[in-house]
Each structure stands twice: as C-alpha cells, then as structure tokens.
Structure 1
Amino acid sequence: MEFTGVAIVAIVFTSIGLQRYFKHRTEMKKLESEGSSSEVQQLRDELHTLQQRVGVLEKIVTDKGYQLKEEIKSL
C-alpha cells in the first residue's frame, strides 16, 4: 500500500517537472526567435557584402597582370 502512494507522488512530481521544463524550453526558443530576426537580416547583409569583396579580391589575384607584377617585384 505504501509503495502505491510513493509511486503516485513520484509520477505527479515527475509530470509537474516535465511540464515546467518543456514550458521553459518553449519560452526560451520563442525569445531567441523574436530577438534575432533583425540581427539575422543584418548578418545576411554583412555576409553578402563580404562575399562581394572576396569575389573582387579573387578577380584581382587571378588576373595575369597582377601575377606578373608580383613576379617582377619578387626579382
């Protein structure tokens, strides 16, 4: 009889704990997604700018005239 009472109490406390855990987790994900939308857009813009700059640098470095100038400088 005592075991049944202990089991019921354990089940109740476990279910309460799990409910609080999942509620907390849901609230944290909600807060993360709300605050990051403008930040994500800002990071995307910055990434686009950096990709353009890298593209320009690749064109400069792979240019045969640039390579020739660097070879001449090294002599």
Structure 2
Amino acid sequence: MSGSAASAASTWRINARALVNDLERYPHAFVLACIADRQTKADIAWGLPYAIREAASGFDLDTLLRLPKGITKKGVKGS
C-alpha cells in the first residue's frame, strides 16, 4: 500500500471510529455496528455506519429515513 493510500485508509478508520463512538449525536451508528458485527468481520461491521454516512451525505435519522433502498449496498461497495 502506498503512503497516500495507507494514509487515506488510516483517516477512513479514524473517522469511522469517531462516528461509532459519538454516542451523543449518533447512538444509532453504534447500534448498527453492533448488529452488523454479528453478521460480518468486525473491521467491516464497525466501518459500515461511516460508509453509509459517506454514501448518504449525512447520518442523522432524517437523512437515513429518506434513503432509497439499496443505498447501503452502494455505501459498502464504496468503502
């Protein structure tokens, strides 16, 4: 992995971790990661909320409720 690719991956993981740990504003990110963690590898599960946030351009509940079906698959594929 090149230096810039490694840096981007590290930044992505840091941002994903920050979202899941922001229980004050996004407790649903933590819940989603917990549910996903029972179905897939931990690194994918705990990055899922961030991937969805990036695909949806937000992660507040109003934004998530307006998502069309399939956006989560797009988000995961893009991560």
| TM-score computed with the length of structure 1 as normaliser | 0.30
Higher relative CO (CA 8 A, sep ≥ 6), structure 1 or 2?
2
Q: Which structure's residues are more often helix, by fraction?
A: 1
Which protein is bigger by CA-based radius of gyration? Answer: 1
